Chain A
């Protein structure tokens, strides 16, 4: 199984500041057919189901604010929130969909400082 490891486990950032969450996969998740990395990022607000933010490591889902961006390659990936808003308080998960079982990172809890 591919293990996805996020860092940090929790993060406190001031409003308007940048938040960065990292995710490392235990092996390559590069899709050979399109040369894209099979990594997604989800946001889960308290009491809500997860919401897809980013797929193919860097493609923003429709309707997601452009302050959210994804980057990375090989086995290291990053979710960046460029200017933190109050509504961004949530737990964020990375996920690989390269191969079954489709594993998630353990989650990063983002709070306001």
Chain B
């Protein structure tokens, strides 16, 4: 069974940094592109970033470009996102998502709150 478990969320001050992790199991992690999608409290879904199978291709939403860095460790079956220069508008639940044909499996999410 596919499992995606995010961790690393929490409260951070504006301008601060945070690193989220996503532990994957139940499938061949190294064979799948992976995404981060976020959802602000009470709001809709917003795609953040994706990464190809070997980590050589990454793409970002304009809102996080230059501040967030997606990466992966296929030996550890783990997806990461390094978030710097955090802003209040980055407050959201961050989901780790597997790409099959499209986003077919989602983790439970981890909440990031940016506030002073």
Show the binding face of A for B, using Cβ within 8 Å. Answer: 38, 40, 42, 44, 49-52, 55-56, 61, 93, 95, 97, 100-107
Contacts and interface: CB of A to CB of B under 8 A. Distances in A.
B102 A49 contact: no
B104 interface: yes
Interface string B77-116: 0000000000000000001000001111111110000000
Contacts, number: 53
Category for how many chain B residues contact A: 10 to 19
Interface of B: 35, 44-47, 50, 59, 61-62, 95, 101-109
26 contacts: A42-B45, A42-B103, A49-B95, A49-B106, A50-B45, A50-B95, A50-B106, A52-B104, A55-B102, A55-B104, A93-B45, A95-B45, A95-B102, A95-B103, A100-B47, A100-B50, A100-B59, A101-B47, A102-B35, A102-B47, A102-B50, A102-B103, A103-B47, A104-B44, A104-B47, A106-B44
A47 to B, nearest CB: 10
- Binding site of B, secondary structure by majority: helix, strand, loop or mixed? strand
Closest 3 CB pairs of A and B: A49-B106, A104-B45, A97-B102
A52 B106 CA distance: 9
Nearest to A6: B44
